Structure 1
Amino acid sequence: MSTTTAVDDLARRVREQLAELRLGDLRTLPGGHSGLTYSVSAGPVSYVVKAVPPGQRPVGRNDVLRQARILRLLAGSPVPVPGVVAVDESEPAWFAMEFVDGEAIEPVLDDHRLAPGLCRTRMLALADVLRDLHDLGAETSEPSVDPAGELERWSRTMRAVPGELRPGSDELLGLLASQVPGGVQPVLTHGDFRLGNVLCRGDRPAAVVDWEIWAVGDPRIDLAWFLLFADHRNFPRVGRVVPGLPGEEELLTAYLDGRPGPPDFSWFRALARTKMAAIMGHNLRRHREGRHHDPDQERLPPTIAAMIRTARDILDRRS
């Protein structure tokens, strides 16, 4: 089936499910990194449609039905998410959700003109949203992922990257494996929780999006990842200075809201840096192999090396 035919067929199915005779054309939504992502209007109302690409299996990032499940589970909770309006499980599966107006900007990585004070307010507000998410518990049949399982996942990603792009990573992975902490009560985790995955209106989060790798797991995984984006110095040649942005300690204090600090948190801070190095190494490899041409990826080697180096430093101070 050609791409045009597949889109026409998807549009027909969406129109039938939503029973909207005035439904406009499906338009590719920029920024979607999983499955096929479109926007579509029905008069004054707009929706986002996410679908499994034709001929591909609905697994991993293409499992749009799994994304729809977590959005429905969170509906009406303190965690703002788009409302799901239709789900079609027949192949290729798709679902439609409300279009939430807002901007998703990562202050230290994205090119933007936001006032520093607004960036600060948004990031502190997001610490509250993350705490709300983790406070929900894990009322789902999804199997939980413990720290060892999370390490194994990102170790596989790291080892798939050519060795010259990840200097010192083998020693780092060995250190992490030798110091895996005990788990805590599993909760719902987003997997990529940061301002770049949150639509904001003014200084408030309007919707947490991009739930492709959500899981039931250790809350410290989400927390350490979120804190990583508080400091441009974590991203040499990539990060930008944002005056007044809350640092890791201030964000951690906001998240805890008077509760005791998480045990063994330094291990998770090292894991977050390992995960970032693995992801950046994977993206750089795809660029150099010609699978996804993006010359901007050539800026990543200093950050990859810094992530690995600082992760090892954190573990050395811990031992």
Structure 2
Amino acid sequence: MSTLTEVSELAARVRERLTALHPGAPVGQLRTLPGGHSGLTFAIDAGPASYVVKAVPPGRRPLGRDDVLRQARVLRALATAGSVPVPAVVAVDERQPAWFAMEFVTGEAIEPVLDEHRLYAELCRGRMLGLPAVLRELHRSGPPGLEAADPLDPAAELDRWSRTMRAVPLELRDGTEELMAGLAARVPAGLPPVLTHGDFRLGNVLCAEERPVAVVDWEIWAYGDPRVDLAWFLLFADHHNFPRLGREIPGLPTEDELLAVYLDGRPHLPDLDWFRALARTKMAAIMGHNLRRHREGRHHDPDQERLPPTIEAMIRTARDILG
């Protein structure tokens, strides 16, 4: 937990840098932005401009999701390449605790089948149909200047989420040992690694009406198999995947429609069902992990008690997909 003094010191560093960018303009105070589960995220105004600041939590090491400098690096590389819309990074401070500032992009990041919202169905459909092209551009070629060492192949992805799943209490993951054994027995050959987002979906893309204007939340980007990103995105097309959580949106595109947009006339991707089963395994593992943290008192969130039916459905349908 950050102290008032530590946040004040961070604010002074941020305000000093933004004052240099906007000489003579008033620079406001840091305001905590709600949402998210990693790092510290703030908003701040400098003259007519608004920025988002992401910082390493005081006392934490800049590793994993807290490595904000790694996030800044991928955002700068993507902005230079210009094929994927991302916020522009305007300042980076590598002194500990590290932070960076990026432009505040106006838009909505709403997951139609999971979030509470009042968007009309046609807008939800249009937004979702606009995303496969963005994902395709992301996967088409990695921007220069990013390390491509140790890409995650399908076996590494399975190992990663199997370890997360096995940390979930047994009563929440009935049937997962058989599921993970089935996945392990059928690991497909990997495709050439590409830049992947790791959590690509409408909830992480700011949209202005139907147009995607910024892909955000790059905490777990990696080089890996494009089918990992694709199968995860497709999971959010159907509210039936999320019992007690999902809401039906009439006319939302099907997985097949979204896949056709992504492929854009290219040949069908092999072994996609294996990745669809993996995506469900990943979702069950994440939800089970979050529910465990709530029940152990590490992150109090009573809403997590709604998750067991969806965890069960993810495990069941993953096994069904594998046959």
TM-score range, shorter chain: over 0.9
Deviation at 1:141, TM superposition (A): 1.8
Amino acid corresponding to residue 48 of structure 2 in structure 1: P
Letter in 2 for 1:51: A
Map 1:37-52; keep pairs closer than 5 Å.
37-52=41-56
Q: Which of 224, 241, 247 is matched with 1:240 structurally? A: 247
Q: Who is 2:214 aligned against? A: 207
- 290-299 or 276-285: bigger deviation: 290-299
Tell me whether 1:64 sits opposite 2:68 in the alignment.
yes
> Matched residues in 1 for 2:154 and 2:76: separation?
27
Which consecutive residues of structure 1, in runs of 5 or more, have no partner in the other structure? none
Corresponding residue of 2:291: 284
- Identify the match of residue 101 of structure 2 among 80, 83, 96: 96
2:140 equivalent to 1:135:
yes
For each residue in 1:77-104, what CA deviation from the matched residue of structure 2 results, as whole angstroms up to 9, or x when unmatched?
Answer: 2210000000011111100000001110
Q: Does 1:189 align with 2:196?
A: yes
- Contact (CA 8 Å) 1:137, 1:186: kept in 2 or not? no
Is 1:311 aligned to 2:311, yes or no? no
- Report Cα offsets for 1:31-58 as digits up to 9, x if no partner: 1322100000012210000000011000
Alignment of 1:217-228 (within 5 A): 217-228=224-235
Task: Give the deviation of 1:138 after TM superposition.
Answer: 5.9
Q: What is the deviation of 1:295?
A: 1.1
Q: Secondary structure at the match of 1:133?
A: helix
Which residue of structure 1 aligns with residue 13 of structure 2? Answer: 13
Correspondence for 2:118: 113
Give, in whole Å, the separation in 2 of the partners of 1:234 and 1:32.
22
**CA-CA distance at 1:142 after TM superposition:** 3.1
Match in the other structure for 2:166 = 159
Match of 1:268, SS state, is helix
Give, in whole Å, the separation in 2 of the partners of 1:303 and 1:295: 16
Counterparts of 1:33 and 1:308 in 2: how far apart (Å)?
A: 24
2:168 alignment partner, SS class: coil
**For 2:36, what is the secondary structure of its paired residue?**
coil
1:294 Cα deviation after fit: 1.1
Q: 1:25 aligns with which of 7, 10, 29?
A: 29
TM-score, normalized by length of structure 1? 0.97
Asked if the contact 1:138/1:216 (under 8 Å) is kept, the reply is: no
- Report the Cα distance in structure 1 between the residues aligned to 2:179 and 2:42, rounded to whole angstroms: 40
Matched residue count? 316
**Cα displacement (A) at 1:2:** 5.9
Partner in structure 2 of residue 80 of structure 1 = 85
Three-state SS of the structure 1 residue aligned to 2:292 is: helix
Structure 2, unpaired ranges of 5+: none
Question: In the aligned structure 2, how far is the partner of 1:234 from the partner of 1:4?
Answer: 42
Contact 1:145–1:217 (8 Å) recurs in 2 = yes
Contact 1:122 1:203 survives alignment (8 Å): yes
1:30 is displaced (CA, Å) by: 1.1
8 Å CA contact 1:169, 1:308 repeated in 2: yes
Residue type of the alignment partner of 1:106: E
Which of 240, 261, 265 aligns to 1:258? It is 265
Shift of 1:222: 0.2
CA distance in 1 between counterparts of 2:61 and 2:35 reads 21
